[in-house]
Amino acid sequence: MCRKAIHIFCGVLSIFFLLSCAEKPLNYYTIKGQVHGTYYTITYGATSECLNQNSLDSVFHAFDASLSTFVPTSIISRVNENDPTVVLDSLFITVFEKGQYVSKETNGAFDMTVASLVNVWGFGFKKSDSVTPAIIDSLKQYTGYQKVKLVDGKVVKEHPNIMLDGSAIAKGYSCDVVARYLKSIGLSNYMVEIGGEVVTSGLNSKGKDWHIGITRPDEENSFDHPDIQMVVSLSNCGLATSGNYRQFYYKDGKRYSHTVNPATGYPVEHNLLSASVVAPDCMTADAFATAFMVMGLDRAYAYASSHPEMAALFIYSDEEGQMQVKYTDSFAKYVQ
């Protein structure tokens, strides 16, 4: 073969190679199911369908085996039962350390040791039929993030009656764990939503940032057809919302919300209806959203405004009982 013919052949071969290596157009797939007592939706872009229920179930099972207080044999349940043989895994340690960090940052507004108080009010993994000031005072001695720590891979408590509840942070971390799994199998465009907490990466099927609706905090709002207060545009970050409009009950004409103030031992009573937080990861967003619901509008807004690495949206009731919206300067770029 002459040199000219060889050059032509090599050129054609190079063009063919480049075309074959060009990124194929993505199709977008959605998978839904139930987990952690709620629902999840995962949407992802890929050249072919590559997620299945079995692979996701294995991820969820490992998570529940570590952090679900509703699983008696989980690591957190065994820690609560003071099992001396329990071995902590990376999932538990990650959540515990993040929880301690947010507790210190918020002066205890977020506190995983609130489990006993949450339980006695009927919102946890154990229930009580009656609540009295004496009971609350007795349980407060077992509450306080300063009363637990990690020492040589073990949880050390000041009192064996101290119990941990990861529900206000674990769901956000579950989103992060699933997102990490998606990344490990080569996906870079996806949205993971578990019970309203969200992680986004890359772009949606229209080649744009992911559009996420923030639910209007109304007691009449349903999971199936929620009223949307606002739509935000997100990519490569986490979003979590905490509110008192879904989990509550009335007793003797008084409304009790599921957000318990660790300092007082009682459910919060203020005009903040929901707090939504955007952060680099969903675990952080989840924990701070809970803390903000404890702190109330003014303190939460002041904290979020002084920490531009996060963005926060607050929906509250004004003096006339009308729903109002307030968000930090850093949140404005996400608003559609």
Each residue of 108-123: pLDDT tens digit?
A: 999 999 998 888 867 6
pLDDT of 154-212, one tens digit each?
999 999 999 999 999 999 999 999 999 999 999 999 999 999 999 999 999 999 999 99
Highest mean pLDDT, choosing among 18-32, 34-48, 92-106, 244-258: 92-106
Residue 296 is encoded by which pair of tokens?
């109330």
Neighbours of 88 (CB within 10 A): 17
Of residues 225 and 101, the one with the higher pLDDT is 101
How confident is the model at residue 239, as a pLDDT? Answer: 98
pLDDT at 291 over 70: yes
For the record, the structure tokens of 336 come out as: 């559609």
Span 249-255, mean pLDDT?
44
Interval 34-45 mean pLDDT: 93
Q: What is the mean pLDDT of residues 309-329?
A: 94
Residue 33 has pLDDT above 90, yes or no: yes
Mean pLDDT over the full length of the chain? 87
- Going by DSSP bridges, is the β-strand pair 272-279/311-317 parallel, antiparallel, or unpaired? antiparallel
Q: Are 32 and 51 in contact (CB under 8 A)?
A: no
Extract long-range pairs of 20-28: CB within 8 Å, 24+ residues apart: 26/189, 26/205, 28/189, 28/204, 28/205
Of the CA atoms within 13 Å of residue 113, those in its CB half-sphere come to: 24
pTM over 0.85: yes
Give residue 244's pLDDT band: very low, low, confident or very high (50, 70, 90): confident
Tokens representing 28 are 């977008």
Assign 274 a pLDDT band (cuts: 50, 70, 90): very high
**Alpha helix positions (H), the chain:** 3-21, 53-67, 75-80, 90-105, 115-120, 133-140, 167-184, 282-295, 297-305
For residue 125, the Cα-to-chain-centroid distance in whole angstroms is 19
Higher-confidence residue of 148 and 120: namely 148
The label of the residue with tokens 């949880």 reads 155
Instruction: Give residue 19's pLDDT band: very low, low, confident or very high (50, 70, 90).
Output: very low
Domains contained in the chain, CATH given: 27-334 (3.10.520.10)
Across residues 69-86, what is the average pLDDT? Answer: 96
Please report which confidence band the pLDDT of residue 310 belongs to, taking 50, 70 and 90 as the band edges.
very high
3 state SS for 122-171: CCCCCCCCCCCHHHHHHHHCCCCHHHEEEECCEEEECCCCCCCCCHHHHH
Residue 248 has pLDDT above 60, yes or no: no
Chain position carrying tokens 């992680």: 199
User: Is residue 148's pLDDT more than 90?
Assistant: yes
Q: What is the pLDDT of residue 119?
A: 81
On whether the CB atoms of residues 227 and 276 are closer than 8 A, the answer is no
For 260-299, b/e burial (b = at least 16 CB within 10 A) is bbbeebebbebebbbbbbbbebbbbbbbbbbbbbbbbbeb
Name the nearest CA neighbour of 204 among 3, 74, 41, 11: 41
Sign of the Cα torsion 158, 159, 162, 166 reads: positive
Residue 334's pLDDT band (boundaries 50, 70, 90)? very high
Cα-to-chain-centroid distance, residue 86: 25
**16-25, 42-51, 64-73, 168-177: segment of lowest average pLDDT:** 16-25
- Show contacts of 125-130: CB within 8 Å, 24+ apart: 125/69, 125/70, 125/165
C-beta neighbour count of 317 within 10 angstroms: 15
